[in-house]
Structure 1
């Protein structure tokens, strides 16, 4: 089973949603047969690349929302209740994340997809670290064993810019209007950061739909294989 998750680096629901998927897969009876792949869905491409602003400033400017109002979900509290603490949201900063997504694409090409996304969310939400400049990202790359100079060249040349855009376009073609957005086995789409129990229930449902139960008819059942047809020794002895 393949689970593809499109996320934005600075989206608090994406970080929390990724954690919930990890917990659901860990609890799933067939978790070892589940491949989780993270993909990019940048939402901050319109932000300037040379500066950042606080989350509070961003929310007020874009939505007219003042943090602390009753209609603003307590994402930090939810994360803490699910084992993600600290999980810094309101005191963080936002900016253009295109280059961060390109680092994640490079890491994925090096076989470090889940490791890189976990590291990125942990650095941004767990430590409130900047993930916006080339120097920021080179430091993060070293944490997962990526060669610093090679990574510098890759990011400076913007080798993965096109792939990041293709990831986002693919999500939109599949119906995504925001992040996180998840597709299971290329057939089932799920919007938003659902709770862990819901995700586990969905995994079990999809598994049951795509993996029919094989009934054991007992030792007397005859069977044909690539090398021909055979019956059990007991059955042959009685005939």
Structure 2
């Protein structure tokens, strides 16, 4: 069963959603038969390389709140994430463009390291205050996840995987995705948002039931013809 998850590195709810999905997958009876692919989605494709200024103040301006209300929202998010085992530090956060980080995720997928790369990038951004548009930072994070530094550096110096990132986003727009995280099972059913593990587990079970109907229970047997004759 294939699960695709659209998310952005610069999305606190996406990191929470990752943890909750992992908890759901751990409880899923057929977890060994599940393939997970992380798909690209930029919350702000036109973001500059780095924004300057206090993040709480930027959040307040974006949503029409006072700076105090903006900080309260961040404090609330930090406390909520801690309940899922995450250590958010918005005071360290360096907001900026995540496009090259998404290209790095596509490179890591070629090496079977996509989940490790996703985890490393999100922790770097939301906990450690790393800038996702800085190439040397991305080279270091890529090697942390197991990639070759030379290959990462060469990829970042080119336009490799740019079309793949855009294709992921176009697919999401085609699905009507307006927010992330967005979970899709076998391109047949989906869920938007960082739902509790119990709800994501239900999504997995419904997806499995839709693709793998229960075997027929034979209640009567008799003479018949088979592939080897009658």
TM-score range, shorter chain: 0.7 to 0.9
- State whether residues 182 and 192 of structure 2, in contact with CA within 8 Å, keep that contact through their aligned partners in structure 1: yes
5 Å-filtered alignment, 1:1-239, equals: 1-49=1-49, 51-66=51-66, 69=69, 72=73, 74-84=76-86, 86-89=87-90, 91-217=92-218, 228=228
Decide whether aligned partners of structure 1 residues 62 and 29 sit closer, same or farther in structure 2, where only a CA change above 3 A counts: same
- State whether residues 88 and 125 of structure 1, in contact with CA within 8 Å, keep that contact through their aligned partners in structure 2: yes
| Cα distance, 1:229 vs structure 2 | 6.0
| Alignment match, 1:237 | none
- State whether residues 59 and 66 of structure 1, in contact with CA within 8 Å, keep that contact through their aligned partners in structure 2: no
Decide whether aligned partners of structure 1 residues 50 and 121 sit closer, same or farther in structure 2, where only a CA change above 3 A counts: closer
Counterpart CA distance in 1 for 2:223 and 2:229 is 8
- State whether residues 16 and 79 of structure 1, in contact with CA within 8 Å, keep that contact through their aligned partners in structure 2: yes
Counterpart CA distance in 2 for 1:67 and 1:199 is 34
For 1:167-206, what per-residue CA distance to the aligned partner results, in whole angstroms no more than 9, with x for missing partners?
1111010110121112111011211111111111221222
For 1:90-138, what per-residue CA distance to the aligned partner results, in whole angstroms no more than 9, with x for missing partners?
5422101111111111111222221211111122223232322001101
Counterpart CA distance in 1 for 2:194 and 2:217 is 39
Decide whether aligned partners of structure 1 residues 210 and 135 sit closer, same or farther in structure 2, where only a CA change above 3 A counts: same
Decide whether aligned partners of structure 1 residues 67 and 10 sit closer, same or farther in structure 2, where only a CA change above 3 A counts: farther
Segments of structure 2 that go 5 or more residues without pairing to the other structure are none
- Alignment length (residue pairs): 228
Bigger radius of gyration among the two: 1
- TM-score (norm: length of structure 2): 0.88
- TM-score (norm: length of structure 1): 0.85
Decide whether aligned partners of structure 1 residues 154 and 218 sit closer, same or farther in structure 2, where only a CA change above 3 A counts: same
For the aligned residues, what is the CA RMSD?
A: 2.5
Q: Secondary structure at the match of 2:10?
A: coil
| Cα distance, 1:35 vs structure 2 | 1.2
| Alignment match, 1:234 | none
Q: Secondary structure at the match of 1:228?
A: coil
Segments of structure 1 that go 5 or more residues without pairing to the other structure are 231-239
Counterpart CA distance in 2 for 1:222 and 1:17 is 54
Moved more, 173-182 or 50-59: 50-59
Counterpart CA distance in 1 for 2:110 and 2:33 is 21
